[in-house]
Amino acid sequence: MVLAILIGVNSRVNLAVFGSGNGSNCRAILQAIRDKRLSATVTVIVSDRNDAGILKIASENDIPGYWICKEQYEHKNQFFDNLFRVLKQHKVDMIILAGYLRKIGPPLLEAYPERILNIHPALLPAFGGKGMYGLRVHRAVIESGVKVTGITVHIVDGEYDHGPIVLQKTLEVCDDDTPETLSEKVLQLEHRYYAQAIQYFAEGRCHVHQRRVIIRSTNS
């Protein structure tokens, strides 16, 4: 079943934001929409954890929020049926992962081809993959001795932190950085730039050639 809708130039995109944690990126996306830096509407928020901060953001902003995870169902297809029902009900064009710790299954990837984005708190393809999230990423960055780190927004494919890269921004790793200080600085960068990457899609400016995401300039 293909739910994906081609997003035309200048149309408002309906987003589902998926998260397992605090949801600070979701908050930043909502702010970007209010500031008119992002032509989108967050029509639904989904979490696999009922105590996730991101669900509080949903209720604070009068956005429908759902706790949906595989463990609630006897069969995997019941999980996907319910998820698709919710996505359809809220007319979702794109899925934005913001700290969502579950792997995205093939049915969702097929329904939203090149319409699922993730943000990772390091410069992929380094410091990514299964189990690389939160402070573990920043600890690995510091231990490796690299001088720069940053953020990566990428299209989601069937492997963790692997799909085509949409946007990367860097920052310096200072000698006195700890995983905690780095995490804070990287998060600030995420909040500044995730919306920009989504906006490229909202404006219909992206296409993927081999593994490269080509972003058409606004003049062409």
CA distance 137 to 31: 26
3-state secondary structure of 116: strand
Query: Does 128 engage in binding with ligand GRF (CB under 6 A)?
Result: no
Question: Which range in 19-27, 57-65, 85-93, 172-180 contacts ligand GRF by CB under 6 A?
Answer: 19-27
Q: How many CB atoms lie within 10 A of CB 72?
A: 12
How far from chain centre, in Å, is Cα 171? Answer: 20
Q: What is the enclosing helix (H) or strand (E) of 29?
A: helix 24-34
Contact between 151 and 190 under an 8 Å Cβ cutoff? The reply is yes
Look at the alpha carbons of 157, 136, 70, 82 in this order and tell me if their dihedral is positive or negative: negative
154 is catalytic: no
Which parts of 89-118 interact with ligand GRF (CB under 6 A)? 98-99
Closer Cβ to ligand GRF, 135 or 214, answer by number: 135
CA distance 45 to 12: 17
Residue from 33, 119, 123, 182 that binds ligand GRF (CB under 6 A)?
119
Residue from 14, 15, 16, 24 that binds ligand GRF (CB under 6 A)?
24
Question: Which range in 8-16, 17-25, 56-64, 87-95 contacts ligand GRF by CB under 6 A?
Answer: 17-25
Query: Does 190 engage in binding with ligand GRF (CB under 6 A)?
Result: yes
**Strand 116-120 relative to strand 148-155, pairing:** antiparallel
* Residue in 75, 90, 120, 138 annotated catalytic: 120
Q: In degrees rounded to 5, what are phi and psi of residue 12?
A: -85, 135
Residue from 13, 17, 19, 40 that binds ligand GRF (CB under 6 A)?
19
Question: At CA 126, angle to CA 122 and CA 127, rounded to 5?
Answer: 60
Closer Cβ to ligand GRF, 53 or 115, answer by number: 53
Closer Cβ to ligand GRF, 70 or 169, answer by number: 169
CB of 143 to ligand GRF, least distance (A): 18
CB of 95 to ligand GRF, least distance (A): 14
Residue from 55, 57, 115, 121 that binds ligand GRF (CB under 6 A)?
121
Query: Does 187 engage in binding with ligand GRF (CB under 6 A)?
Result: yes
What DSSP assignment string belongs to 157-209?
Answer: -SSTT-SPEEEEEEEEPPTT--HHHHHHHHHHHHHHHHHHHHHHHHTT-EEEE
Query: Does 163 engage in binding with ligand GRF (CB under 6 A)?
Result: no
Question: Catalytic site residues?
Answer: 120
The residues that touch ligand GRF, with contacts defined as CB under 6 A, are: 19, 21-25, 98-99, 119-121, 187, 190
